[in-house]
Amino acid sequence: MNVTDRKGDLIISGGLCVMGIFVILKARAMPYGEATVPGPGFLPTILGVLLFGISVVLGIKALLSRGNPARVQLGHRSMVSILAAMVILAGLLERAGFLPVMTLFVFLSLKTLSRLRWWMCLLWGLVAALVAYGFFGLVLGIPLPFGTWWYS
């Protein structure tokens, strides 16, 4: 996806604007407190208002500027695949265990980014997972999950 600088600034300032409004509404539901004892809603309200204000100014500035005509490339296929793989990894890590999930993740990443044959990607995935488990799990003692699926 290609987007101009100006359009990107407009979209981001729009997003920040919406966030500011959301924060103000949520903060209003919290106790505001008094001047002598500010409550939990005090600072979020101020920040929400400031965020809204700054994003409006940013948006107006983007609207009025001619902006950089060069287009900014946003995202590409391999990025989406890798990010999806990380989300799936997070979901499966404690269920399937570190070794199988990390093997699969490295396999998918290599398959997406490189030109290695599938069995080479799988082999490197296994090696990477084993080395990582050995160093971080056994040597450094980081508790890497075994996987709840394998408990009988």
Partner 1 sequence: MTSLQHLLEGFSIVLTPLSLLYCFLGCLWGTIIGVLPGIGPLGGMALLLPLTFKLDPTSSIIMLAGIFYGAMYGGSTTSVLLNIPGEAASIVTCLDGYRMARNGRAGPALVVAALGSFVGGTLSIVALMFFAPALAQVMLRVGPAEEFSLMILALLVVSFVGSSNTLKTIAMIILGLLIATVGMDPFTGHLRFTFGYLGFASGIDFVPLAIGLFGISEILINFENIANVDVIKPSFRTLLPRWKDLKDSWGSMLRGSGIGIVFGFLPGASHIISTFVSYALEKKISKHPEEFGKGRIEGVAGPESANNATTGTSLVPMLVLGIPPLPATALLMSALIIHGITPGPQLVQDHPDIFWGLIASMYIGNIVLLILNLPLVGIFVNFLRIPYAYLAPSILTLMIIGVYGVNTNTADILLMVLFGIIGYILRKFRFDMAPLILAAVLGDKMEMSFRRALTISEGSLWIFVKSSASKIFMVALILILVLQGVAWFMGYRRRMAEEGG
Residues that bind partner 1 (CB under 8 A): 5, 8-9, 12, 16, 19, 23, 26, 30-31, 34-40, 42-44, 47-48, 50-51, 54-55, 57-58, 61, 72-74, 76, 78-79, 82-83, 86-87, 89-91, 93-94, 102, 105-106, 109-110, 113-114, 124, 128, 132, 136, 140-145
Task: State how far the Cα of 135 lies from the Cα of 151, in Å rounded to an integer.
Answer: 24
Provide, rounded to whole angstroms, the least separation between the CB of residue 141 and partner 1: 6
Of 54 and 100, nearer to partner 1 (C-beta) is: 54
Of 72 and 152, nearer to partner 1 (C-beta) is: 72
Q: With CA atoms as reference, report the closest residue to 52 among 78, 90, 82, 21.
A: 21
Q: How far from 3 is each of 7, 10, 73, CA to CA, in Å?
A: 6, 11, 7
Q: How far from 23 is each of 46, 50, 142, 149, CA to CA, in Å?
A: 10, 11, 37, 40
